[in-house]
């Protein structure tokens, strides 16, 4: 099955489930699914509420880092497996990154699990600045896993709305979103 035409069959807000006891053994370790790109509507998968008329492009990736990744965190691609694995949180020097699916449960993505990483389109991200204006450019922060004013860092995206909290909606525009 080609990853260009395959539909992995799991939605935003879910992981593939390779760590579950009842997981289909035919799906194996998820290696035939990682790298698959899928476009979703910008909607809350729990309520079905449409958030904008834009699409959200995601890549199915495996968490090969040493700890769970939380919803909205900025994760970095593994150098040896770009666009198929992430191995930790992005920091200021990171150039290839994405936003961990914000609709995942609070416990996040366990190690060795496959999930959706947002590389283009609207998403909610963890950020260090508590006040930001709409249109402001974002990049990875010195605080691992969060976003901040872009400065000289690689581009993560742009603020969609003015936000006064430690998370906010951004239009993700990463280098991984070709």
Indicate whether 100 belongs to any domain.
Answer: yes
pTM of the model: 0.89
* Residues 146/169, Cβ–Cβ less than 8 Å: no
Confidence band, pLDDT 50/70/90 cuts, at residue 1: very low
Indicate whether 18 belongs to any domain.
Answer: no
Dist CA 40 CA 59 (whole Å): 11
Indicate whether 67 belongs to any domain.
Answer: yes
Indicate whether 40 belongs to any domain.
Answer: yes
Question: What pLDDT shows up at residue 175?
Answer: 81
Q: Looking at residues 73-83, what average pLDDT do you find?
A: 89
Q: Looking at residues 11-21, what average pLDDT do you find?
A: 81
User: 57 versus 9: which is more confidently predicted?
Assistant: 57
Indicate whether 6 belongs to any domain.
Answer: no
Each residue's pLDDT tens digit, 89-114: 999 888 899 999 999 999 999 999 99
Indicate whether 73 belongs to any domain.
Answer: yes
Using the predicted structure, report yes or no on whether residue 23 has a pLDDT greater than 90. Answer: no
Which among 90, 89, 114, 118 is positioned nearest to 102, based on CA atoms?
Answer: 118
- Residues in CB range of 102: below 8 A, 6 or more apart: 71, 72, 118, 123, 124, 125
Q: By residue range, what is the domain housing residue 63?
A: 25-177
Confidence band, pLDDT 50/70/90 cuts, at residue 67: very high
Confidence band, pLDDT 50/70/90 cuts, at residue 174: confident
Indicate whether 43 belongs to any domain.
Answer: yes
Which pairing describes strands 50-63 and 85-89: parallel, antiparallel, or unpaired? parallel
Domain count of the chain?
Answer: 1
Tell me the average pLDDT of the chain.
86
Indicate whether 1 belongs to any domain.
Answer: no
């Amino acid at each position: 099955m080609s990853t260009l035409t395959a539909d992995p069959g799991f939605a935003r807000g879910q992981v593939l489930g390779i760590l579950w006891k009842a997981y289909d053994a035919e799906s194996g370790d998820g290696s035939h699914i990682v790298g698959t790109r899928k476009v979703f509507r910008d909607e809350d998968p729990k309520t079905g509420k449409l958030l904008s008329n834009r699409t959200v492009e995601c890549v199915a990736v495996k968490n090969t880092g040493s700890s769970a990744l939380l919803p909205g965190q900025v994760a970095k691609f593994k150098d040896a497996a770009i666009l198929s694995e992430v191995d930790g949180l992005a920091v200021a020097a990171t150039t290839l990154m994405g936003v961990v699916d914000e609709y995942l449960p609070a416990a996040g993505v366990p190690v060795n699990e496959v999930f959706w990483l947002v590389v283009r389109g609207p998403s909610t991200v963890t950020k260090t600045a508590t006040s930001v204006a709409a249109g402001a450019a974002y990049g990875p922060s010195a605080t691992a896993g969060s976003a901040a004013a872009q400065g000289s860092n690689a581009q993560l995206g742009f603020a969609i709305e003015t936000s006064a909290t430690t998370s906010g909606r951004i239009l993700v525009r990463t280098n991984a979103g070709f």
